[in-house]
A and B are shown apart, each in its own frame.
Chain A
């Protein structure tokens, strides 16, 4: 049996009959993605009647009708039910039934489209069904024009030879067809005689390898959930191992009674034990735990029942990115091997604060001290933002500052007369800096200074261009500062002490 949805087929540019659309949707120019999604839903509907469905081409699926037809009381009755069910998705469909896939496809194409795809008019669907009786396939095919063959070159040749109908082509001896037309001709000849070149490759529906546990009543304490997670993880691993698979990631999804969800992917690589998965569930739940006001690590029992979410209703573990279990091989050379202990600690903190909260510094190049360190979230590929092997003229040489402020601090640098020290366009300083004042701190006397060191970066890019003059200042408290003048303002970028 072949179910064809004309509105969903042929996204590859074959001419579409505008009439095929019926009142499907509002317009014919829906995107491929939308069509694919709709097709997926249609397939799901058809799968409800028969689990083993083969998608033949976009918009067309086929399945063996014998079993389901007997169950639903005949092929016509089954087809009517399918058309009605698909019409619920506002998709018109046609059904063809024949002994082979090719004939059934032609039958579905030959069935006149259901006049309107509305659920209320499913009774009219009989015109959208064409059933070729058992044994009548050869006769049905004989009346078809040769142009129905997919091989249009062959169809044209046959037409020029005076063979207009498939029946005339089928009447030729198979041996002569093979010697004259080759493999393609033999294949078409088999189709024309109603013999299927292959059987339906209907695969059983994919097994659901995810495991879940419901908590009724919802569980507000973490311990029982983590305990259940351990059993679930064992179940998940057993299911994967039975199929010779392993997963790269495992998704832990906890649903609270009020409908909120916490979903997180954890690296698995087939290395995690059930207890390891349970640990990750615990960290994930810890991360969602409302933080106590005093910031103290509180007992789990102490704040049990304080969950505003009302407890966990469902815990589901889904394997992600399945791969064949082929064992593990570590690289001989490479980056610093992150030991299990460190990875656990880092991931635990990530579970509490988020992925971006745990960083690994990578030393790169750049003219600013802040640019030379690229913080990379733990678990990601460590690569500096700016290459370290470039010369970077204009960078400050000498000892690196022990404090590099993520956001430069505002400051005021004044001379002996109390005027703000300015730097001219020709990089001349108005006067020697005498005092450094930062908001909220008493002013410091400048005991030594050097500069200005001009730095003009990315003048070709108006968005990123910066013109600055840098100074090193030493103050009477024994500290030293890296200050810049940009747009007439003084900023402290880094400090030395």
Chain B
């Protein structure tokens, strides 16, 4: 399967600066500075492999990461993407005092992935954002967070490899949309193998998509207009 591994050379002018935490190469193009800006909040619409991929990229660089409020987080999948399980703290149930728990975790970890157990009042959000700016960490929230600098969303996804009673799950092609505020205001859309057949995350080429891919993507994206005859992919 010709999967385009996005190396550093494929990312134009996105050398991660010191003010960012690194992400997996295939995700760099989605983020304004090619990484997670320290002291910022990112929101991912729903918990899934995209969240784990973001955590794994930071952890693979040697940073400590915390995962709070997500008891079902698939650590094994994250380890497959590069997460260092030895540098991960899990707080499955942060309880009603979750803002304090998250603030404490941010003291020790570079990145905290959080699903707030309850809707966060504006005051609580501002306090946590202030803690973030002091500590230079990154908070990755699943769900809605009004002050998030970057929002990521998986719009469409499709698994390959399953037939009618045969095969097995092999890879998932997903369209990820990023937008946000400030330098992230421009909407970026990328097709990714999430995960790719080799277990990593890779940039997907539209021509690799399965022939029966449901194209319910919003019209107007360059990719759909220019889509040539799609080539079927054999999934052995």
Among candidates A341, A345, A353, residue contacting B94 with C-beta atoms closer than 8 Å = A353
Q: Using Cβ atoms and an 8 Å threshold, which residues of chain A touch B17? A: none
Which B residues are CB-close (under 8 A) to A345?
A: 89, 104-109
Hey, which chain A residues are within 8 Å of B232, CB to CB? Answer: none
Q: Are B156 and A478 in contact (CB under 8 A)?
A: yes
Q: Is the CB of A399 within 8 A of B72?
A: no
The answer to the question of B170 belonging to the interface, with a C-beta cut-off of 8 Å to chain A, is yes
Check if B123 sits within 8 Å of A296, measured CB to CB. Answer: yes
Tell me which of B86, B92, B164 contacts A335 (CB under 8 A).
Answer: B86
Is A398 within 8 A of B159, CB to CB? no
For chain B, which range describes its interface: under 10, 10 to 19, 20 to 34, or 35 or more residues? Answer: 35 or more
Whether B158 lies near A352 (C-beta < 8 A) is no
Cα distance A406–B69 in the bound complex, in angstroms: 13
CB atoms of B162 and A472 under 8 A apart = yes
* A352–B195 CB distance below 8 A: no
Any A CB within 8 A of the CB of B145: no
B127 interface residue (CB < 8 Å to A): yes
Judge whether B77 and A399 touch: CB under 8 Å.
yes
Binds A, one of B3-11, B19-27, B33-41, B95-103: B95-103
Among B91, B97, B158, B214, contact of A358 (Cβ-Cβ < 8 Å)? B91
B98 A295 Cβ-Cβ under 8 A: yes
A140 interfacial contact with B, CB 8 Å: no
Query: What's the least CB distance linking A395 to chain B, in Å?
Result: 11
Please give me the residue from chain B that is nearest to A475 by CB atom: B159
Known: A297-B99, A472-B169, A478-B158. A402 touches B77 (CB 8 A): yes
Partner of B159, one of A352, A480, A494: A480
At the interface with chain A, which of B46-54, B176-184, B221-229? B46-54
Select which of A295, A359, A496 is within 8 A of B97 by beta carbon.
A295
A211 within 8 A of B: no
Question: Is the pair A363, B79 in contact by a Cβ cutoff of 8 Å?
Answer: yes
B154 near A: Cβ within 8 Å?
yes
A161 within 8 Å of B by Cβ?
A: no
With known contacts A353-B95, A448-B162, A480-B159, A297–B103 Cβ distance under 8 A: yes
B48–A497 CB distance below 8 A: yes
A336 CB to nearest chain B CB (Å): 4
CB atoms of B76 and A400 under 8 A apart: yes
Could you tell me if B162 and A297 are in contact, using CB atoms closer than 8 angstroms?
no
Kindly identify, within residues 379 to 412 of chain A, every residue whose CB is under 8 Å from any CB belonging to chain B. 382, 396-406
Within 8 A of A (CB), among B162-220: 162-172, 174, 195, 199, 214
Q: Is the CB of B169 within 8 A of A336?
A: no
Residues B87 and A336 in contact, CB atoms below 8 Å apart: yes
B93 at the interface (CB under 8 A from A): yes
Binds B, one of A39-47, A235-243, A368-376: A368-376
| A402 vs B199: C-alpha distance when bound (angstroms) | 12
Q: Does A361 contact B (CB under 8 A)?
A: yes
Write the chain B residue with the least CB distance to A373.
B75
- Taking the nearest CB of chain B, how far is it from the CB of A412, in angstroms? 19
CA distance A163 to B80 in the complex (A): 87
Q: Is A70 an interface residue (CB 8 A)?
A: no
- Nearest-Cβ distance from residue A475 to partner chain B, whole angstroms: 9
Chain A interface: which size bin? 35 or more
Interface residue? B121 (CB, 8 A): yes
- Interface contact A399-B199, CB-CB below 8 Å: yes
Q: Are B72 and A403 in contact, with the CB atoms below 8 A?
A: yes
- Report the Cα distance A361→B75, complex, angstroms: 7
Known: A342-B108, A450-B163. A382 touches B86 (CB 8 A): yes
CB distance from B51 to the nearest CB of A (A): 8
Contacts of B164 in A (CB 8 A): 432, 448-449
Inter-subunit contact B72/A291 (CB<8 Å): no
CB-based contact B157/A497 at 8 Å: yes
**Chain B residues positioned under 8 Å from A401 (CB to CB):** 74, 76-77
Q: List B contacts of A362 (CB < 8 A).
A: 85
Instruction: Find B49's partner among A346, A402, A473 (CB 8 Å cutoff).
Output: A402
A341 neighbours in B (Cβ, 8 Å):
107-108
Interface centre among A294, A353, A402 (most CB of B within 10 A): A402
Q: Which residues of chain B are within 8 angstroms of A405 by Cβ–Cβ distance?
A: 72
- B73 close to chain A: CB less than 8 A: yes
A296-B123, A399-B80, A399-B169 known; A349-B71 Cβ under 8 A: no
Q: Which residue of chain A lies nearest to B97 when distances are taken between CB atoms in the complex?
A: A291
Q: Which of A294, A432, A478, A479 is the most central at the interface, judged by chain B CB atoms within 10 Å of its CB?
A: A478
Across the interface, B76 reaches (CB within 8 A) one of A349, A382, A404, namely A404
Q: Which residues of B contact A (CB under 8 A)?
A: 47-49, 52, 64, 71-80, 84-101, 103-109, 118, 121, 123-124, 127, 154, 156-159, 161-172, 174, 195, 199, 214
Can you name 17 A-B residue pairings with CB atoms under 8 Å? A294-B121, A295-B124, A297-B99, A352-B104, A353-B95, A362-B85, A373-B76, A397-B168, A398-B161, A399-B195, A400-B77, A403-B74, A404-B75, A472-B168, A478-B159, A480-B159, A496-B159
Give me the 3 closest cross-chain CB pairs, A-B, nearest first: A345-B108, A448-B162, A478-B157
